[in-house]
Structure 1
Amino acid sequence: MSVSIDPAFQQQLTGYRLATAEIVYHLPDYPDLLQQFIWQHYDLAPDFPRLKQFLDYWETNIEGRLHSVRLARTEIVTAAEARAVGGLFTLH
């Protein structure tokens, strides 16, 4: 029997973490207005090469000038959170 392992889980075992970037940029036609874009991918902290590659691509190929980038990431793989159940309800 062959066991299939999720590629995202394999990446996490090698140091990758889910990184989420909030990218705020100026609209090309209305530079005084800001727009938000959310980018999410598995990446390596603290250098975040995938995010840097994406931002380099943005600056060279997309007209909207970057305003700011905020980054959040998950911690290492942890066991699922468990809690006691206070009751059992049955629905018909």
Structure 2
Amino acid sequence: MRETELMLAGYGLTTAEMFYRMPDYRNVLNSFIWQDYDLAPDHPRLFRFIEFWQEEIEGPLHSVRFVHRKEIAPGEWRNVKGEFYLQ
């Protein structure tokens, strides 16, 4: 599906920062940024990527931070009956 179709289906943009240890230098932490459209609160794509990382990539994960934001959400609307100007 296209990005707009995903957003209309309830997906939001998920950004994750993964800290991992270098395979040859275990005391060195490096970071990797991952971003994709995902469904909150289960985040199936993010967890699938983390599982892939743990199975296929040599650098063991230290920690993962992520944030999720829906790009299309109900807007705030209010009926304004008048305006006041202060000078």
TM-score between the two structures when normalised by the length of structure 2: 0.79
Q: Does 1:39 align with 2:60?
A: no
For residues 29 and 40 of structure 2, the distance between their equivalents in structure 1, rounded to whole angstroms, comes to 28
**Pick from 51, 55, 64: which aligns with 2:50?**
55
Conservation of the 8 A alpha-carbon contact between 2:19 and 2:29:
yes
Mapped to 1, the partners of 2:55 and 2:67 lie a distance apart of: 24
Q: Is the 8 A contact 2:18 2:61 kept in 1?
A: yes
Instruction: Provide runs of 4+ in structure 1 moved above 4 Å.
Output: none
Residues 20, 61 of structure 2: 8 Å contact kept: yes
Distance 2:51 2:73 in 1: 32
1:75, distance to aligned residue in structure 2 (A): 2.7
Corresponding residue for residue 64 of structure 1: 59
Q: So what's the TM-score if we normalise by structure 1?
A: 0.75
What is the rounded CA distance, in whole Å, between the counterparts of 1:16 and 1:30 in structure 2?
38
Counterpart position of 1:89:
none
Q: Which stretches in structure 1 are left out of the alignment for 5+ residues? A: 1-5, 80-92
How far has the Cα of 1:76 moved from its partner?
4.4
Q: Post-superposition shift, 1:72?
A: 0.8
1:1-92, aligned counterparts within 5 Å?
7-78=2-73
Q: CA–CA distance in 2 between the matches of 1:40 and 1:70?
A: 12
Structure 2 unaligned regions, length at least 5: 75-87
- Aligned equivalents of 2:20 and 2:11: distance in 1? 27
RMSD between superposed Cα atoms in Å: 1.6
